[in-house]
Every structure is written in structure tokens, then in C-alpha cells.
Structure 1
């Protein structure tokens, strides 16, 4: 399995090398067009419209490089200022937005060195394994074609069978070397691009403030919606039953002298109604903060949760201690929502939950063997998970190709407290 993964990663990196070479070729004409746009800036109307248009092309190219870096495991955030309101194309406000953004000039400064490094490293990622393929195929070609002047590389003419035999093991060696080196070469290219295309400290702070502003608004909206839900459940459920209970007891008081049998019947109905109201209140409290979560922690609460699911769920939890109560609650409800999506939409036969804590980060992975194709844009469940986690600076990543499997990875930064719990694993 590891060999397959190594070969698969190598082949993907080789394809990424071809992609990197092709992209790097576009950097030079983009720089030339950008310089022309800068020279024409003083021209009325034309300069104000041309530079933003060319800058958009450069940013599209830089974003493609960020995507390529992401495939190599190097995340590069977009550092651009948000566009101003009512910024018309060709207007001064849009021109100033582009010209005063430091990321604009960092993108331009990256074009030439990025082209050179990307072309060289991408070419190496492709040439080394191809050289190995050439060495492997040389012997059968030599035997089939019978060409005595064919050579492996530049200085290795092949004139007989024994010389041809030596090319095959060396070709295997070069192919293995190329498959192993290609991901590393793309990672080096990504790290170099990150020097230019990643946000500066000031840009990171600005992006962080913008993210917190959005997160705060989403959290306020989610809390308001939750309060409205609790109010609706109380008004339509327990409150209505308690009002009805009071009226029933009042009728029983009036009838207890003249019709004791009917009064006893009303009291029996009141007792049944009180039990129903109590059950509804318990369900409401369980929806706010489950008692099992407070008593047994995240480990016990998740295990109790999966016991009610109509499919086998493998649970692996390794928590040295309990998270803080708000984080623990958010992690529980996010896990519950992810499992609810598995039951409702995936068509899965089994699911897995893995919860681990390391380096001040609580990681929850919910996966299933269903049909895949999950998309946060098509429903509110995954969006709700994102909003719930964002309130604690958490993130959610989704991998759900058509045909499955679906893997939801949730991360919450936190510190642990409370007594230690032993790591455990079982299928429920």
C-alpha cells in the first residue's frame, strides 16, 4: 500500500511538473504587458483601465501558483486587499486599490524569478523519470529495431546485447529516483513561491481582522437563531403543555366535590401531561448541553451518540484530558452534525470517528464509505459546522469525491484541562 501511494504521489508530482513548466512560460509575457501598462499609466482613461486589467491577469497567474503549491502541501493565502465599494472599471478608486496594494508589486517581483525556478524544477521533475523510462525501454527497442548506434543518454552508445542489458537496471534506478524526487522538487518550488506570494505580517494581521469580523457576525447570527429556536420550542412545547396542565388541574378542583370520578380522570390526564412536559424540557436541555457531555466528557458523549445510529461506527479517541466546556460542546455538536449528514445523505454502510489532541489542536475526523459528492453549498449542515467551529477559530476541511469516501476533518485550537482519560478504540 505504501509503494502504491509513493508511486501515485510521484506520478501526480510529475504531472505537476508539466503544469509548472507550462505556467512558468506565461510569466515573461505577463511581465512585459505589465510594464507596458505601467508606462501607459499617465495616458488619460487608458492608464486607469489598463493597469487593473493586467493586474487581474497577474493575480490569476499567481493564484494558479498558489493552487500548485497547495497540491505540494504548502498553503499560500491570498494577501490582496478587498475591492472598494462602487469601484467602477477604469475609475480612479479601482486604480488606487490596485496600485496601493503591496501584493500587486510582490506579484510582479515574483514573475521572473518564479518563471526561472518553476521552469527548472518542473523540468527536472519530468526529465529524471522520463530518462528512467528511456533506460527501461531501451533493451526491447534495441532488440526489436536492431540499431547498433542507439545510445542511452549522450555518452553511452550501445553496440551489443550486454551493453543494452546494463541500461535497464539503471533506468529503473532513475525512474525510482524521479518518482521520489518529483514531490520534493515541487515542494521546493512552492516554498520559493511562498517567499513572494504569501502575505506579509501586516497583511496577515489585516486578513486575520477581516476573518474575525466575519466570524463574529456569523457567531452572532448563529446564537440569535439558536435563541429563537429555544424560544419557539418553549412556546410551542413545554409552555403550552404547562398552560394546559394548569387548566386541567383547575377543572379538577371545581369538579372534585360534585363528580369525584371525573376529577380523578382529569388529574390522571394532568399527571400524564406533566410527564410529557418534563420530557420535552429534558430534550430541550439536552439540545443546549447534553448531560452525558457534562458527566462523561467528549469521549463518553460521542460513544453514546453513535450507539443510536443505524450503522456500525468505529470510534477512536485519544484525549489526555478534557477540553474547556465551550470547546467541548462545539466539538460534540459538530461531530453530531457530521454523523447526521452521514445517516441522511451518504448512503454509507459504515462510518468512522477519530478524535485526537496534539500541539494544542483538537482534531476530529468523521469519514464514511458512502457515495461521496458532498458539497457545503448544497445544504446547511456543513455550513453550520463551519460557523460553529469558526466561533472558536476552528476550521473544517471536506474531501468527498464522487463515489466516496467522504472525509470531514475538523480542527479546534484549544488547551486541555480536567482529569486524564485513557485512549481507547472500539466499534459501536
Structure 2
């Protein structure tokens, strides 16, 4: 009985889901002429995103019922995508499979699940009809499955209820398995598509890693050129002045030497900062939690760190996480006008999740070459994801997920 109830719940939920699919299918049919007129560039990618989100939600539900894994395909549409990118995204094979599933789910599954789900209700109604038929108007008798106009006909209703119950007892598991099997076959990702999606993800990750690496090299070059190099030039100049002073006026050589020493100290400090920005030594000394606590202590906006039981993760991931938080707090200090910020770091399965939230004015947007774009580049280099939520009036929430191994 418990198994039958589980099947009935699944069929009932499947019927409710098929109603949503039917609505989406009808809306898609209504928008199809407009998509054709505009070439599909404006509306179609957004409609496909909704389709993928809905199919992914059903993948999780159907996979849980069948006890199988139905992973969604990663379908990235990067910001600033070209028209070709948007059309390629909209007309991909995965979109075709999801559209086919939507059509099947909206029409045949809707009808079959409706029939199966109402049979137990019909059995209960037939049993109750034995009593309440007498209250119906004489010219409009209750019918289930035939009009009941007398006590003799009402006495047959328990037999009808038993028939409905027997049919439902046999039909419900069959419908649940047929519907779940059909949906699973349509929503399952072919191995070829999985490999193609993995190649696409690795290609994007490699491109992001190269961009991040190039940006990091340019930053290091800029820091060395504008910082340590200029200070070392000052050291050489001061030593040259000291040399001439030694030849002409030995008593005046002390002041240039002191200036040269100060310039050398500044140059050494600049080199240390550059090395620190490549890989902060504090990560080796205190780990990620201690390094983030140090960042929070230096923040102009009061900041709370919640990073208990994160443990150690690969050094590259620790470094990327440190710089993500550092850049995010820099943006909070400069632009948010916040009174408080919170950094949460947690570990779920094989992913490190970083959330930076502030109670500032909001309205943050990602701009090419900006700090948020740099964060996204750095995270995507590890095949991670970044999500920014910043409504006008706040709060602003930056969420980054980085694969970190088991």
C-alpha cells in the first residue's frame, strides 16, 4: 500500500507539473510567430532559458523517483554574447530534446496522469454516491458512470467503486513507471552530448584561465614598473649623488646615503607587496580562515567572517578564494556605502561556496575590466560559477562556487 501511495503521489505531482508544461507549451506556440519575425534573437534565448530551467527541475524530481541520476547539461550563455552565440544556444541539441519532452509532457502525459490520478477519487465518489444521489434534482441526476435515479441503481454504486479501485490498483504503478520512464528517456543526456558539453566547459575554463593569467601578468608588470622599478631608479640616483658628493664634499655624503637607504626600503616593501599579491604567505601560515579574518580586520567597513570547519583546500583554490574576498571587500569599501558586510565560506560536497553580502545602496553591475569581471574571470578559470544580486537599495550579494575536491 505504501508503494501504491508513492506512485499515486508521483502521478498527482506529474499531473500538476504537466499543467505547467501545457501552459509553457501554449505560450511558446503563441510566441512562435513573433520569434520567426524577429529571427528569434531577442525572445528565443530567454524562452530557451526558461525551458532549460523547467526541464532541469523535472530532471531532479524524476531522477529522485526512479533512483537514477539525471544531471543537467551546463548551457552557458556568457554576458555580451554575439548573435551567433545566442542562436547557437537556442538551437542546440539539448534544446531540441527539452522541447520534445515539453510537448510530450504537456499533451500525452497530461491526459494519462489525469486519468490515473482521478480514478481513486472516482472510487470514493461512487461509494459516496450511494447516499447523496437522492439530493440531486430529478431532472439532473448524478451520473457515475450512469445516472442514478433510484435506490436500486444506488445499490450498484459500491460495485462500481470496487471496479474503480481495482483498475486504479493495477493501473497506478503502470502509469507511474510508464510516465517516469518516458520522461527519463527524453531528459537523459546522451553520452555524446555529455562529452560535448564537457569539452565546451573545458574550453571556456581554459579561455578564462588564460585571460586570468594574462591579467595577472599585466598587473604584476604594472606593479613592478610603477612601484619597485621607480624606487630602484631613485636608489641608483641617490647613490650617484652620494658618489659625486664623496668626490667633491665628503662631509655631505651622509644625507644622499640616507635617502638611498629610504628608497631601497620602499623598493623592498613594494617587492614584498607584489610577491604577497601573487600568493599571500598568510595562507600558508594561518590557512584560508585565518587569511580571511586578516582581510576582515583590515576592511574599512565592519566585516564578519563565517568560515568554520572549511579545512584545507588546494593551494590554488585557497589563493583564488582569498583574492575573490579581497576584491569583493575592496568594492564594498569603495562603492557600497554599507555599514556592515558578511563573508560566509562553506564547503558542500566537493565545492567551496563563498558569499559576500553587504547592506549598502546596491545597484552594483559588472563592467568589462572592473573588479567584478576580474572575480568572474578568476573563478571561471577553476570551472566555478559567480552570481551577483544587487537590487537598487541593497543588499548586494556576491556568491562564488569553486570546485575544491573531496
Which band: TM-score by shorter chain?
A: 0.5 to 0.7
Q: Residues 389 and 330 (structure 1 numbering): CA distance in 2 closer, same or farther, change over 3 Å?
A: same
Aligned to 1:114: 105
Distance across 2 between alignment mates of 1:395 and 1:86 = 23
Do structure 1's residue 335 and structure 2's residue 335 form an aligned pair?
Answer: no
Do structure 1's residue 382 and structure 2's residue 372 form an aligned pair?
Answer: yes
Distance across 2 between alignment mates of 1:28 and 1:249 = 80
Do structure 1's residue 357 and structure 2's residue 358 form an aligned pair?
Answer: no
How many residue pairs match? The answer is: 310
Distance across 1 between alignment mates of 2:180 and 2:302 = 41
Question: Aligned to 1:256, what secondary structure does the other structure show?
Answer: helix
Alignment of 1:250-329 (within 5 A): 250-256=240-246, 258-329=248-319
How far the C-alpha of 1:78 sits from its partner, in A, is 6.6
Distance across 2 between alignment mates of 1:278 and 1:404 = 41
Determine which of 395, 399, 421 is the counterpart of 2:385: 395
How far the C-alpha of 1:248 sits from its partner, in A, is 2.1
How far the C-alpha of 1:303 sits from its partner, in A, is 0.7
**Structure 1 unpaired stretches of 5+:** 1-14, 34-49, 88-93, 124-148, 156-188, 417-428
Do structure 1's residue 210 and structure 2's residue 211 form an aligned pair?
Answer: no
**Structure 2 unpaired stretches of 5+:** 1-15, 61-70, 115-136, 144-178
CA contact 2:55–2:98 (8 Å) conserved in 1: no
Aligned to 1:227: 217
Aligned to 1:22: 23
Aligned to 1:12: none
Q: Residues 314 and 71 (structure 1 numbering): CA distance in 2 closer, same or farther, change over 3 Å?
A: farther
Aligned to 1:419: none
Q: Residues 195 and 310 (structure 1 numbering): CA distance in 2 closer, same or farther, change over 3 Å?
A: farther
- TM-score, with normalisation over the residues of structure 1? 0.60
Aligned to 1:64: 50
Aligned to 2:228: 238
Q: What per-residue deviation string (whole Å, max 9, x for no partner) do you get for residues 191-217 of structure 1?
A: 987763564332122122122212212
CA contact 1:334–1:385 (8 Å) conserved in 2: yes
Do structure 1's residue 369 and structure 2's residue 359 form an aligned pair?
Answer: yes
- TM-score, with normalisation over the residues of structure 2? 0.63
How far the C-alpha of 1:275 sits from its partner, in A, is 1.3
Larger Rg over CA atoms: 2
Question: Aligned to 2:399, what secondary structure does the other structure show?
Answer: strand
Q: What per-residue deviation string (whole Å, max 9, x for no partner) do you get for residues 177-202 of structure 1?
A: xxxxxxxxxxxx99987763564332
Distance across 2 between alignment mates of 1:57 and 1:250 = 69
CA contact 1:20–1:118 (8 Å) conserved in 2: no
Q: Residues 113 and 61 (structure 1 numbering): CA distance in 2 closer, same or farther, change over 3 Å?
A: farther
Q: Residues 314 and 208 (structure 1 numbering): CA distance in 2 closer, same or farther, change over 3 Å?
A: same
